[in-house]
A and B are shown apart, each in its own frame.
Chain A
Amino acid sequence: MEDITKLTVHELVEKLDAKELTSEEIVSAYAKRIEDKEKDVGAFVTVTTDKALEKAKEVDKEGREAGSLAGIPIGIKDNLNTLGDKTTCSSKMLENYVSPYNATVVEKLNDEKIMSLGKLNMDEFAMGSSTENSAIKITHNPWDLNRVPGGSSGGSAAAVAADMVPWALGSDTGGSIREPSSFCGVVGLKPTYGLVSRYGLVAFASSLDQIGPITKDVRDNAMLLNVIAGHDDKDSTSYDVEKKDYTEALKTDVKGLKIGVPKQFFGEGINEEVKAKIKEAIEVYKEMGAEVEECDLDVAKYSLATYYIIACAEASSNLGRFDGIRYGYRAKNFKNLKELYVNSRTEAFGPEVKRRIILGTYVLSSGYYDAYYKKAQKVRTYVKEQFDKCFAKYDVLITPVAPDTAFKIGEKVDDPMSMYLADICTVSINIASIPGMSLPCGVDSKGMPIGMQILADRFNEEKIYNAAYAYEQKTKFRDSHAAEFKN
């Protein structure tokens, strides 16, 4: 029998519908795969396959009336609250925190009877681009175990690439879905800000954070976005927009699709092999009849600076809630209340988190607010306007996701600025609140995957899905490439 864990979700659904597979068989296959591969990959913080198996048996009893996606398992990034399970954010601060409620996206999965296989590793509080900032464990890239999976949703992308989960949820504040998806050769979408409810997502930078799907292929991605998108009264920034079926956009025809290629995203600092692969992909679009044009979009360098000001400012405020009182780590030694706060925070936050809290507090402090924060908010306006100009002319934009492919574990860990540069092509998308996808478009000479980034205007995810699906069906990356667990 073919390996169940290699199948996409839409293939699993076909087999469930045809009664060729049961949910119990699917979940059991994944439980076995996780047992086999976790020691190499280190994607999971918490494994909940036993609970998933119980739910699978119930779904099998109900039959296919239970729902079209009923019985399909999933992996969930460990910053999304899941009732009764630990939600650690890969931090010592929340190492023993058990969620007393479900995030809205988790409720939506439950409604569909999609069950969680476990919680996936990440950079502590989603701050990082390699998952090396996790206080729990190091996650390894399934294509080459000596390399990072990217971050911060490194556990989610690695688990999908290693067939340890059929699909996963991640979150993206400055590239945290797209960069690991690029590094691990999977499909990752950061939806428009406001399309998916953030209720129950542990906040990092509230005006930039967004939850999104990480999947083996484009169809699965659209299917999972269908499940999680929608207005939520519990998140006042979630938008009340008309519900769409994103699978309707999965067409192979891109004739007349207007594609802009911003030349500034292909400049200095972007690896030549990455550039070459994305240019090849652009040629494929031309062959398929898309109208491709080079364009101007000079926002990347301003965006990165703006991002680190705004994200750190919001983080310093959001992480103020961790004080050792109601939940989270509490220091053992303290003489008074103030010491309880200070010692708990100092002992439980990792170095990168502390650095960002300090940076954020600094840019918000009296005397520096105007020079940094206020100015950054104006740059944000500028970045949005530049994207608006582009989308007045083009349906989608294509850029690299990351300046390079996955780097070696430990290579950048002591140089935060060089780590931050890994986000140079992704942060402007969060600043402008538009959607962006990482789609595999080849491998470099070391055999590591390269992702191209497809962008569209706010709430135009269907244009991304159309462009991505057409390219995927034409080039079939998954047919010729797979993670090899190189040592």
Chain B
Amino acid sequence: MALSKEELLHIAKLSDLKIADDEIDDYLKKVDDILEYTEIINNAPIEGLGETIGANDNYNVFRKDEPVQFDNIPGIMENCEETERNMYKIPKVIE
């Protein structure tokens, strides 16, 4: 199932990535190579089998819904390129 240029650009858009015109052929070839290899799973004897979602036996882990104050807020804020009054600064969302 070959990936078309339009599909590739659509997927890139969904992924918040930009693919330059001169990169398209390289992406198509390499992604196609891998997708072609993955076709092998169509031969796997999986009829009647359920899906394994997690790695181990599925179970839910619950913990008490208690708020905990993180002890290094300055350490978090220092990682943001632009902050003001302990808040992240971003471009206007609504024009």
Q: Report which A residues bind B (CB closer than 8 A).
A: 83-84, 96-101, 193-194, 207-208, 233, 236-237, 239, 301-302, 304-306, 308-309, 316, 320, 323-328, 330, 334-338, 340-343, 345-346, 349, 354-355, 357-359, 361-362, 365, 371-372, 374-382, 384-385, 416-417, 420, 430, 433, 458
B33 and A97: CB pair below 8 A?
no
Q: Which residues of B contact A (CB under 8 A)?
A: 1, 3, 7-8, 11-12, 14-18, 27, 30-31, 33-35, 37-46, 49-56, 61, 63, 70, 72, 75-76, 78-82, 88, 90-93, 95
A455 to chain B, nearest CB (A): 15
Question: Is the Cβ of B55 less than 8 Å from the Cβ of A237?
Answer: yes
Q: Which residues on the A side are within 8 Å of B12 (C-beta)?
A: 358
Shortest C-beta distance, B26 to chain A (Å), equals: 8
- Are B41 and A376 touching (Cβ within 8 A)? yes
Besides A301-B40, A343-B18, 18 other A-B contacts (C-beta < 8 A): A98-B79, A302-B44, A305-B37, A325-B90, A327-B76, A328-B79, A337-B92, A345-B16, A346-B18, A354-B17, A358-B12, A361-B11, A365-B14, A372-B38, A375-B44, A377-B53, A382-B49, A385-B49
For the complex, would chain B's binding face be called helix, strand, loop or mixed by DSSP majority?
loop
A98, A193, A208, A361, most chain B CB atoms within 10 A: A361
Chain A-chain B contacts (Cβ-Cβ < 8 Å), number? 166
Is the CB–CB distance between B55 and A194 below 8 Å?
A: yes
Q: Are A316 and B38 in contact (CB under 8 A)?
A: no
CA distance A347 to B27 in the complex (A): 16
Hey, which chain A residues are within 8 Å of B15, CB to CB? 316, 345, 354, 357-358, 361
Measured CB to CB, the closest approach of chain A to B16, in angstroms, equals: 5
Chain B residues whose C-beta falls within 8 Å of the C-beta of A336 in the assembled complex: 91-92, 95
* A4 to B83 alpha-carbon distance, docked (Å): 47
Please, which residues of chain A bring their CB within 8 A of the CB of B90? 325, 337, 340
Residues of the B chain whose Cβ atoms lie less than 8 Å from the Cβ of A343: 18
A302 and B40 contacting across the interface, CB-CB below 8 Å: yes
Q: In the complex the two chains form, is A381's CB within 8 Å of B55's CB?
A: no
- Closest Cβ of chain A to B76, distance in Å, is 5
Of the listed residues A326, A334, A341, the one surrounded by the most CB atoms of chain B closer than 10 A to its CB is A326
Q: Which residue of B8, B55, B81 is within 8 Å of A358 (Cβ)? A: B8
B86 to chain A, nearest CB (A): 13
Please state if B75 and A337 are interface contacts (CB–CB under 8 Å).
Answer: no
Partner of A208, one of B14, B44, B55, B63: B55
Supposing A343-B18, A365-B11, A420-B34 touch, asked if A193 and B55 sit within 8 A by C-beta, the answer is yes
Contact B34 A327, beta carbon cutoff 8 Å: no
A157, B41: Cα distance in complex, Å: 32
Distance (whole angstroms) from the CB of B35 to the closest CB of chain A:
7
A482 vs chain B, min Cβ distance (A): 36
Smallest CB–CB gap between A241 and chain B, Å? 11
Contact B72 A355 (CB under 8 A): no
Please indicate the chain B residues that have their CB under 8 angstroms from the CB of A416 in the complex.
30, 33-34
